[in-house]
Amino acid sequence: MLAYIGKRILQFIPVFIGATLILFFFRAVIPGDPVKLIAGERDLPEAIYQQIVANHHLDEPMYVQYGYYMSDLLHGDLGTSLQRKLPVLNIFAEKFPYTARLALCAICVEILIGLSAGIISAVKKYSFLDALVTISTSVLVSVPAFWLGMLLQMFFGIFLKNVTGGAISLPVSGAGAISSYPVWMHYILPAITLASVSLAYTARIMRSQLLEVMNADYIRTALAKGLSKRAVIMKHALKNAMIPVITFIGIDFGSMMSGAILTETIFSWPGIGFEIFRAIGQRDWPIVMGGVILVVFVVMIINLIIDISYAFFDPRIRYGKKAGD
């Protein structure tokens, strides 16, 4: 087990270096004078200009600059916001809990709705419900999630409110704002929006896995022994069908972190994504780049943990070949 963990961490290093190289390259090709990007568009005395060049190692060769860049990253220095003059890491430290909480709520929605829809549609194969699940998952993966979020806002925030005279409605903007709703209600619409695409995939994978497992020999044996179909599904089939689904949900946490940019934008959610969106509007590139690195890093760590825990639960992976190879 230790050897496996060591191997996975070693594999993680070149991917991390590669990803940072790409982002460093992007930063290096930003057009314009890098000193002006740091100090703003104004005329500087020559002495101060040279000082900025020296402080940021702009006169060194590229590979030395990359070394400084990596060292800053590993020390947790993501640069300083141009507009707000604050360290980028401090800005995101404050925003991160909001995004993490939203992503966790979305995962709950994904598990609750995605799994049950997939199970129902596999157990009642070719029924009306199965067709309904198939059609709605196709639609969910074909619409932009931000559009779906706006439709939810329109229905729950505006239409229902007008029809019921304000008796039934849901808040359409982020937590933390002053509002008459309890805090937890602010999570409902953003969590559903963020989960929409993922839960469609979860339902599809759950359905196909369960259908595949139901053809296995041990299921036929269990049925032949006289167990009820319900007991067979609950005790034998689901357990084995779940493994790929759980992997998918785990890896999906990463796409939720990036999908959060769109969801947070339409719901004005005070998280990392909304901050990145605001920074794009203000052309505050250190925040955008810092946010991207942060999310990429969190996603890579999560994927690493999932890989390791997966090997912990399924010994075949530890000893045999990598899954998917």
User: Per-residue string for binding with other proteins, 276-305, x by CB under 8 A?
Assistant: xx--xx---x--xx--x--xx--xx--x--
Judged by CB, which is closer to other proteins: 220, or 322?
322
Q: Strand, helix or coil at 180?
A: coil
Residues in contact with other proteins, counted by CB under 8 A, come to a total of 47
- Does residue 310 touch other proteins according to CB under 8 A? no
- Does residue 147 touch other proteins according to CB under 8 A? yes
Rounded to whole angstroms, how far apart are CA atoms 205 and 200?
A: 9
Tokens 């779940």, located at residue: 242
CB distance 245 to 282 below 8 Å: no
- Does residue 214 touch other proteins according to CB under 8 A? no
- Does residue 261 touch other proteins according to CB under 8 A? yes
From 65, 136, 240, 255, residue interacting with other proteins (rule: CB under 8 A): 255
Instruction: With CA atoms as reference, report the closest residue to 92 among 252, 249, 260, 250.
Output: 260
- Does residue 70 touch other proteins according to CB under 8 A? no
**Minimum gap (Å) between residue 117 Cβ and other proteins:** 18
Residues 6+ apart with CB under 8 A from 21: 66
**Minimum gap (Å) between residue 217 Cβ and other proteins:** 23
Secondary structure (DSSP) of 6-68: HHHHHHHHHHHHHHHHHHHHHHHH-SS-HHHHHH-SS---HHHHHHHHHHTTTTS-HHHHHHH
Rounded to whole angstroms, how far apart are CA atoms 205 and 211?
A: 10
**Minimum gap (Å) between residue 108 Cβ and other proteins:** 20
Judged by CB, which is closer to other proteins: 20, or 202?
20
Instruction: With CA atoms as reference, report the closest residue to 268 among 257, 260, 256.
Output: 260
**Minimum gap (Å) between residue 50 Cβ and other proteins:** 26
Q: Strand, helix or coil at 87?
A: strand
- Does residue 15 touch other proteins according to CB under 8 A? yes
User: Per-residue string for binding with other proteins, 153-192, x by CB under 8 A?
Assistant: xx---x----------------------------------
From 7, 9, 26, 97, residue interacting with other proteins (rule: CB under 8 A): 26
**Minimum gap (Å) between residue 324 Cβ and other proteins:** 8
> Would you give the DSSP letter of residue 80?
B
